[in-house]
Chain A
Amino acid sequence: MARSNFAIKRQPGFATIAIFCFALLYLPIATLVVFAFNAGRSVAIWEGFSLRWFQQAWNNDLVLEASIRSVQIASTAAIIATVAATMAAIATTRTKPYRGLTAKYAFINQPLMIPEIVTAVALLIVFSRIKVATGYSGLGYLIAAHTAFCIPFAYLPIRARLESMDLTLETAAADLYATPWKAFTRITLPLLWPGIIAGLMLAFVISLDDVVITEFVKSGGQDTLPTYMLGQLRRVVTPEMNAISTVFLLISILIVTLFFFISRRRT
């Protein structure tokens, strides 16, 4: 009788610790957002509601320029990375093992395995030489660096999608004399689309968030929003930083939520 009420999954104190963790995870972020709306200059003492810091950030040309640059780099890098990752994913799934397949996996996932700071100084060394040799110091370096570390992030959801896809439809297309290209554009691509979009969004967020590699690769006057913020943190912090962070957070959360729903959709 009593036995039927015995909760076998319960462990004493676990739920309390879990709720405590969730609260701790969100407390700093919530504080950050709340003080973005502070009327005073403090990030700890509330002096009334105001939107002045959002207005100030909006009128700050450096912030605006850095934001535009961030989006430029992230969208270019994410698109190139997703195209390359899609091709690579098709080349590495649904096949008998062949020579070099394992090496390909390792190669594609390499950016995930090396500490960011190491990649950052490696790129600093190589790109500084190329900058001197060619005289070119545009955004190309940042785009190349971002594309490389975005590829594994775009690759993972696309590959997962490919592996869970039904092979019979493509076989059917081939049976009906569709050319490989036609079978790809009419069957594979439409089925793969959610994976590609998920990969693209993941790559975009990863690029948008990057601080370390950008900090080492950028030339003068090429701050992205995160490196601009890193530079500002050395000074006295006003709620303007909170306002910028709040908008940034909102955009990230929006993209991640979309990603969550797209990648959960099953065929």
Chain B
Amino acid sequence: MTTAAEIAARAEREDIRKRWLLSTPALVIIFLAGIGPLLVVVLYSFLTPGPYGDVKWEFSTDAWIGVFLQRDMFDDTLGIADAHLSIFLRSVRLSFATTILTLIFGFPTAYFIATRPERTQALWLFVITIPFWTNLLIRTFAVQEVIRNEGILNNALIWLGITSTPIQILYTDWAIGIGMVYVYLPLMVLPLYASMEKLDFRLVEAGYDLYATRFQVLRRIIIPLVKPGIIAGSILVFIPSLGAYVTPRVLGGGRQMMLGNLIELQFGAGRNWPLGAALALTLTVIVTVALLFYVRYAAQSEQRHG
């Protein structure tokens, strides 16, 4: 005889089986064109480069050593890989600068949107989202046209008498920085807005009642309350900045490389696929650590605030 409990248990098992069946197509596609290939990258990073690209099936840890170290051409000793290190440092430096600048510009912008009347808030949000959903390449290209030597920025500077000859901005670190701040600004504004929207302005009012200045209210009340948004926005900007490929390629012109371009180089002219694989995995590890840090922080702050 079957009891009610057994019937319920069977129904639940059946339900879970159906749920696995339904999610199969999505899981299979992502495995085949996402996670699976990533595992192959791990394998490739331990092989030997082939003479015309691709790999030879011989185990080697040279690629991983080559990420940070290089063999001296004459006496065969290992030293720090200066070229890689400088590209690593440039990537980290530019990504940090981008994060800080988008925060400086994005914070007041998000606050402005969050303090509009409810009806117009959606409109302002829409205005900030539109550039975010338009093609990244086109936005980068638009920046390129503005900052090039004969572009409108230099024309304006000359017309204003600030400079007599065009300032070379394009193909410098400045160009990459300007471009990244431009393309990633919405990624900072959106999470900031999400936490500012929930801001309880009675706390702000209480601050003023206790004779706080505007700056004190900002520093002691508003910023601590929207900290989750600040962290989320910073992570959301930092991660794509670190892996940026299109912006440095178009605005750095191949002379100023970032990590993404260094990885590409190994699969093209560099003909060192294992090194490219090892570099790609290094980037993945850095990004994953940043993400885990964020997930842990988010879980903690949720626990604290319920």
A26 CA / B126 CA spacing, docked (Å): 13
Please encode chain A, from 126 to 167, with 1 for each CB lying within 8 Å of some chain B CB and 0 for all others: 101000000000000000110111010001000000000000
**A118, B41: Cβ atoms closer than 8 Å:** yes
**B201, A9: Cβ atoms closer than 8 Å:** yes
**A121, B246: Cβ atoms closer than 8 Å:** no
Minimal Cβ-Cβ distance residue in B for A253: B130
Contact partner, B108, options A13, A120, A155, A233, Cβ 8 Å: A13
Residues of A in contact with B, size category: 35 or more
Residues of B in contact with A, size category: 35 or more
Task: Tell me whether B185 is interfacial, beta carbon within 8 Å.
Answer: yes
**A249, B134: Cβ atoms closer than 8 Å:** yes
Task: Tell me whether A111 is interfacial, beta carbon within 8 Å.
Answer: yes
Contact partner, A252, options B128, B133, B263, Cβ 8 Å: B133
**A110, B284: Cβ atoms closer than 8 Å:** no
Provide the residues of chain B in CB contact with A9, threshold 8 Å.
115, 201, 204
**A111, B136: Cβ atoms closer than 8 Å:** no
Provide the residues of chain A in CB contact with B131, threshold 8 Å.
25-26, 29
**What secondary structure prevails in chain B residues at the interface with A?**
helix
Provide the residues of chain B in CB contact with A12, threshold 8 Å.
214
Please encode chain B, from 85 to 126, with 1 for each CB lying within 8 Å of some chain A CB and 0 for all others: 000000000000000000001101101110100000010001
**A110, B204: Cβ atoms closer than 8 Å:** no
Minimal Cβ-Cβ distance residue in B for A180: B18
Please encode chain B, from 8 to 30, with 1 for each CB lying within 8 Å of some chain A CB and 0 for all others: 00000001101111110111011
Task: Tell me whether A245 is interfacial, beta carbon within 8 Å.
Answer: yes
Q: How many A-B residue pairs have CB under 8 A?
A: 251
Minimal Cβ-Cβ distance residue in B for A100: B20
Task: Tell me whether A212 is interfacial, beta carbon within 8 Å.
Answer: yes
**B145, A35: Cβ atoms closer than 8 Å:** yes
**A233, B38: Cβ atoms closer than 8 Å:** no
A25 CA / B134 CA spacing, docked (Å): 12
Task: Tell me whether A84 is interfacial, beta carbon within 8 Å.
Answer: yes
Task: Tell me whether B243 is interfacial, beta carbon within 8 Å.
Answer: yes
**A114, B33: Cβ atoms closer than 8 Å:** no
A27 CA / B145 CA spacing, docked (Å): 11
Provide the residues of chain B in CB contact with A144, threshold 8 Å.
29, 32-33
**B142, A29: Cβ atoms closer than 8 Å:** yes
**A148, B32: Cβ atoms closer than 8 Å:** yes
Provide the residues of chain B in CB contact with A118, threshold 8 Å.
38, 41, 243, 263, 280-281, 283-284
A252 CA / B32 CA spacing, docked (Å): 29
Task: Tell me whether B194 is interfacial, beta carbon within 8 Å.
Answer: no
Known: A87-B26, A115-B243. A6 touches B33 (CB 8 A): no
Known: A17-B105, A44-B152. A253 touches B30 (CB 8 A): no
A123 CA / B22 CA spacing, docked (Å): 26
**B30, A111: Cβ atoms closer than 8 Å:** yes
Provide the residues of chain A in CB contact with B146, threshold 8 Å.
27-28, 31
Provide the residues of chain B in CB contact with A1, threshold 8 Å.
none
Task: Tell me whether B40 is interfacial, beta carbon within 8 Å.
Answer: yes
Contact partner, A21, options B109, B245, B281, B287, Cβ 8 Å: B109
**B145, A122: Cβ atoms closer than 8 Å:** no
Provide the residues of chain A in CB contact with B29, threshold 8 Å.
80-81, 84, 144, 147-148, 151
Known: A42-B150, A233-B250. A125 touches B126 (CB 8 A): no
A11 CA / B207 CA spacing, docked (Å): 14
Contact partner, A17, options B41, B108, B136, B281, Cβ 8 Å: B108
Task: Tell me whether B291 is interfacial, beta carbon within 8 Å.
Answer: yes
A114 CA / B34 CA spacing, docked (Å): 9
**A230, B137: Cβ atoms closer than 8 Å:** yes
Task: Tell me whether A39 is interfacial, beta carbon within 8 Å.
Answer: no
**A226, B135: Cβ atoms closer than 8 Å:** yes
Task: Tell me whether A57 is interfacial, beta carbon within 8 Å.
Answer: no
A126 CA / B92 CA spacing, docked (Å): 29
Task: Tell me whether B78 is interfacial, beta carbon within 8 Å.
Answer: no
**B25, A121: Cβ atoms closer than 8 Å:** no
How far, in Å, is A16 (CB) from chain B's closest CB? Answer: 8
**A11, B145: Cβ atoms closer than 8 Å:** no
Provide the residues of chain A in CB contact with B139, threshold 8 Å.
28-29
Contact partner, B260, options A15, A115, A237, Cβ 8 Å: A115
Provide the residues of chain B in CB contact with A17, threshold 8 Å.
105, 108-109, 112
A233 CA / B260 CA spacing, docked (Å): 18
Task: Tell me whether A63 is interfacial, beta carbon within 8 Å.
Answer: no
A88-96, A168-176, A185-193: which lies at the B interface?
A88-96
Known: A43-B145, A121-B277, A248-B135. A18 touches B112 (CB 8 A): yes
**B138, A11: Cβ atoms closer than 8 Å:** no
Minimal Cβ-Cβ distance residue in A for B138: A245
Provide the residues of chain A in CB contact with B32, threshold 8 Å.
144, 148
**B287, A31: Cβ atoms closer than 8 Å:** no
New A-B contacts (17) at CB < 8 Å, excluding given A116-B243, A122-B40, A148-B32:
A11-B108, A11-B111, A18-B112, A32-B145, A91-B18, A107-B27, A107-B35, A108-B27, A115-B242, A117-B264, A125-B40, A125-B277, A126-B37, A149-B33, A211-B137, A212-B245, A260-B126
